Amino acid sequence: MIRMAKSNSSVSPEQVVNTVCAHNCGGRSRLACTVRDGVLVRVEPAPAPDDAYTGLCVRCLTLPQWVYSKERIKTPMRRVGPRGSGQFVPISWDEALDEIVDRFNALIDAHGSSSIAFVRSTSASPIASYTRLASLLGGGGTSNFYGGVDMAVHMGLNSTFGDKGMYGQHSNEWTDRLNSKLTIVWGHNPAETAMTAMRHLLNARDAGCQVVVIDPRYSATAMHANWWIAPRPGSDLALALGLLHVLIVEGLIDRPFLFDHSCAPFLVRTDSGKYFRSGDASTSEKPSAPQVWDLHSGRAVELNSTAAPALEGRFEVNGVSVATAFTLLTDSVAKYTPSHVAELTGLDASDIVDLARTYAKAGPAQIGLGYGVDRYKHSELFARAAAAIAIVTGNIGKPGAGVGVQSHYHGSHPARLGPGPALPKWASTKPVPMIEVGRRDLPVRAVFCQGDWINQRMGDMNTSLAYLKTLEFVVTVDHFFQTTTQWSDIVLPACTFLEDNSAARDALVFGNSIYLRPKVIDPVGEARTDFEIERDLARRFGLGEWFRESSEDVVRGQIDGARDPAFDNITYDQVVQAGGAIRLNVPTTPHVQYGNDGFTTKSGRAEFYIEELAELGEALPAFVADHEALLTHALAERYPMLLVQTHARQRAHSTFFNTAWTLEIWPEPILEMNPDDARQRGLANGEMAEAYNDRGHVVARVVCNPDFPPGMCNITEGWKQQQYADGNVQELTNSEINAGQTLIWGHANIPFFDTRVEIRPAALKRQGAEA
């Protein structure tokens, strides 16, 4: 929608353009952008089709400063100094694109297309993420660096309920929180990181829902909770197993749900850990369904052959010892008694018992996960344990109940857009997990980067930079000079989502509506849209035939070509005529995940037992004590402080790192720590300190903050290399590879929070690993 303001001789003409925020907080706020003489001057909330989703956060208010930031890249640039020096000179678009194509073609001719890798950070346009070019280039498959962080909770939930895509697992719709009697906010701080979602949590609390926040620190969300529970960092899995223990021992379980909708009655071989199948066909290429124990006949049968399957018990079938999955779950949590879990978590045993009872007896209850519990080495096991809590109590698939990710847009009605442009059968990419980049031999000699992936999606930065130095050619397309641009050979200026020159940049679903994201202002400097850059590169590579449509054509096809019933009687033109947003053809009641569509696992049931992980001893979630975060870890004595990177209300990951208004409040990276920890190290508020470990170091100003418990310190994520006094927080972070995640998903989550450091005054000479 465009609305012209009244004008007279003393007032410049204004227009208001409604668009949608693109950034990775996931709030998807609809924005009313005031443009005066072609310049964005003000951002306010624009009405959403459903007023429950009208609103914006403090970050969006700073967009006028963000888009015109002094760090803005305004012209293509070529490196002239050493890689990493940040020394560049302007060049023309033709020079830049021709050099990229010439260098890539030479590498493909000499080493094959897999010598070229494409990598992207978040918040890039889904219709212009260079995936089409990457798939087409060379015909033999370029390399694709993928994954990174904030995936482990999704891995665990996907394993349990069925794969919905790596970021597809979510909770019930935000507005459903009013139906909950109890909500556990676990490792999530929406008051700062998902501000447009926070009001739904407060509305539920004010309507009588008990809000429990589980977080080691006293967060801005914990301030509004009925109950704040603070386990030791990295001990969330132990707490979840302790809650399961209480629920099962005290009989606080939903037996009908376990019988009808879970793997609980399935028989498991106790020798191999695999499900028992007819004719011992557990090794068949197309195995039959797991069998159950028929209480009437006293034998193993197919599930649909009995009305009386056993929920518990151990049996023998043709000389093979078996037990029900629920029996194995019961046995596995037997040792996680309240007293034992109290030792592991630092909580009172009585609080563990009270929480389990309160959750089970409250009525419909939700467990909302954030990414604070995601960044440990075994966080997928925690997510599976949290899912098991909901499964055994039947808190799945009904209003007010559920377990899932509650940050970002997760909770929207599922509505599948139509397919994007078609690709030839030979188009492909060769996946390379991000966590393995620089840690194993790769054929890659050049990287095309979209966004600042080095700063946010790689642990152990010094290893990553050492790898980057070995590459022959690095290209980055971005809005601002950041960490990855500093290490590039060619830098291309990209339009922000506010500057796209198509009629509608993207189509996206949020809540219960479909939105378009139109252009607000003309491109800054010589910036071009990612869609244009990808198309122009493709033409130079001789692939122009695959990029004949406009970005509007792509979006029109996504909406008009959608086969999902949510898009019945909705067309692209109707969305445009409605001002760029229209309600989907979905029920007026909040969406309830798994309410009607069931589970997409092999069995069609919720599977807390994952037989593929039996060889690792992880078929059931078990507490694994090799977290670097734990006090029992070998590094704990040498590096007694645990370093985390919380999200900040001023940034969405690293986006908005450069807005002047927020930098007035928070101008530099700070090292937050408990006052007692600072005092023990001779540090005072405002002094510069160095955090270090074997991997690297960072220097930042100390802020004594009692919200963090002793032994825990924090540097909020998203600061750029040029903003640190010395070093970088990512030099310190852990990049250990999780075997279970890799076995199931082919890649692993980066355990950023499994990071131990020691801290000292920055004036001391750094002694590295020998300090």
Q: At what angle do helices 236-249 and 349-361 cross, to 10 degrees?
A: 60
Least confident of 1-15, 161-175, 299-313: 1-15
For residue 508, pLDDT beyond 90 = no
663 burial level (CB within 10 Å; 0-12, 13-18, 19+): middle
Q: Return the pLDDT at 282.
A: 46
- Burial-class residue 280 by CB neighbours within 10 Å (0-12, 13-18, 19+): middle
1 pLDDT exceeds 70? no
DSSP per residue over 642-707, as a string? EEE----TT-BTTBTTT-HHHHHHS-S-EEEE-HHHHHHTT--TT-EEEEE-SS-EEEEEEEE-TT
Tell me: pLDDT of 12 over 70: no
User: Which pLDDT tens digit goes with each residue over 102-140?
Assistant: 999 999 999 999 999 999 886 556 567 899 999 999 887
Query: What digits encode the pLDDT tens for the residues 58-91?
Result: 889 999 999 999 999 999 999 999 998 989 999 9
Q: How confident is the model at residue 149 (pLDDT cuts 50, 70, 90)?
A: confident
DSSP annotation string for 188-255: --HHHHSHHHHHHHHHHHHTT-EEEEE-SS--TTGGG-SEEE-PPTT-HHHHHHHHHHHHHHTT-S-H
Which of 45-49, 497-501, 624-628, 686-690 is predicted least confidently? 497-501
Per-residue pLDDT of 608-659, as tens digits, reads: 999 999 999 999 999 988 889 999 999 999 999 999 999 888 887 888 889 9
**Most distant CA atoms of the chain, gap in Å:** 95
Structure tokens, 67? 């888009």
Percent of the chain with pLDDT over 70: 94
Per-residue model confidence (pLDDT) at position 408: 67
The tens digit of pLDDT for each residue in 553-590 reads: 989 999 999 999 999 999 999 999 999 999 999 999 99
β-strand partners of 19 = 31
Architecture of the domain spanning 641-770? Beta Barrel (2.40)
Count Cα neighbours of 585 within 13 Å in the Cβ-side half-sphere: 13
Q: How many Å apart are CA 488 and CA 125, to the nearest integer? A: 22
Q: Residue 761 forms beta bridges with which residues?
A: 689
pLDDT-based confidence at 160, cuts 50/70/90? Answer: very high
Confidence of residue 3 (pLDDT cuts 50, 70, 90): very low
pLDDT recorded at residue 399: 96
- Cβ contact 107:474 at 8 Å: no
Per-residue confidence (pLDDT) for residue 6, from 0 to 100? 40
Check residue 618 and give its pLDDT: 96
**Residue-averaged pLDDT of the chain:** 91
**pLDDT in the model for residue 384:** 98
Residue matched to tokens 């053809």: 585
Give 466's Cβ-side CA count (13 Å radius): 11
Say yes or no to pLDDT of 769 above 60: no
Q: How confident is the model at residue 410 (pLDDT cuts 50, 70, 90)?
A: low
CB 189 within 8 A of CB 216: no
Q: For residue 231, is pLDDT > 90?
A: yes
CA atoms of 468 and 80, how far apart (whole Å): 17
Per-residue confidence at 7, pLDDT binned at 50, 70, 90?
very low
Contact 477, 449 (CB under 8 A): yes
Q: What is the mean pLDDT of residues 683-695?
A: 97
Q: How confident is the model at residue 10 (pLDDT cuts 50, 70, 90)?
A: very low
Q: What percent of the chain has pLDDT over 90?
A: 75
Output Rg (C-alpha) for the chain, integer angstroms.
27
**Which pair of structure tokens corresponds to residue 329?**
């779950």
Question: DSSP for 487-517?
Answer: T-SEEEEBP-TTS--SS-S-EEEETTEEEE-
Neighbours of 80 (CB within 10 A): 9
Sheet of 314-317: strand order equals: 267-269, 320-324, 314-317
What average pLDDT does range 295-319 have in this prediction? Answer: 93
**Assigned CATH topology for domain 77-148+419-502+525-554:** Rossmann fold (3.40.50)
Contacts of 261 (CB under 8 A, 6+ apart): 391, 396, 397, 599, 605, 606
The confidence band for 196, taking pLDDT boundaries of 50, 70 and 90, is confident
Q: What is the mean pLDDT of residues 43-64?
A: 92
Other Cβ atoms within 10 Å of 307 Cβ, number: 8
Higher pLDDT, 288 or 269: 269
Taking the model in full, what pTM does it have? Answer: 0.94
SS3 382: helix
The tens digit of pLDDT for each residue in 414-426 reads 888 998 888 898 8
Beta-bridged to residue 533, according to DSSP, are none
Which CATH superfamily hosts domain 171-411+598-616? Dimethylsulfoxide Reductase, domain 2 (3.40.228.10)
* For residue 504, pLDDT beyond 80: no
Determine the pLDDT at residue 654.
83
Q: How confident is the model at residue 19 (pLDDT cuts 50, 70, 90)?
A: very high
Q: Where are the domains of the chain?
A: 77-148+419-502+525-554, 171-411+598-616, 641-770
Instruction: Identify the CA nearest to 290 among candidates 261, 268, 315.
Output: 268
**Rounded-to-integer distance, Cα 70 and Cα 68, Å:** 7
Contacts of 148 (CB under 8 A, 6+ apart): 434, 435, 453, 456, 457, 458, 749, 750
Q: What is the pLDDT of residue 766?
A: 46
Q: Are 734 and 606 within 8 A, CB to CB?
A: no
Alpha-carbon distances of 241 from 378, 385, 442, 564, 719, rounded to whole Å? 14, 6, 40, 39, 36
Cite the DSSP H helix spans in 10-130.
Answer: 58-61, 63-67, 93-111
pLDDT at 281 over 50: no
If you count them, how many residues does the chain have?
Answer: 771
3-state secondary structure of 198: helix
**Rounded Cα gap, residues 52 and 177, in angstroms:** 12
pLDDT reported for residue 406: 83
Per-residue pLDDT averaged across 708-723, rounded? 95
DSSP E strands in 72-156: the ranges are: 77-79, 88-90, 116-120, 142-146
CA angle in degrees (0–180, nearest 5) for 196-198-202: 135
**If residue 18 lies in a helix (H) or strand (E), which one and from where to where?**
strand 14-20
Question: Which tokens hold the place of 102?
Answer: 């010439």
pLDDT of residue 210: 98
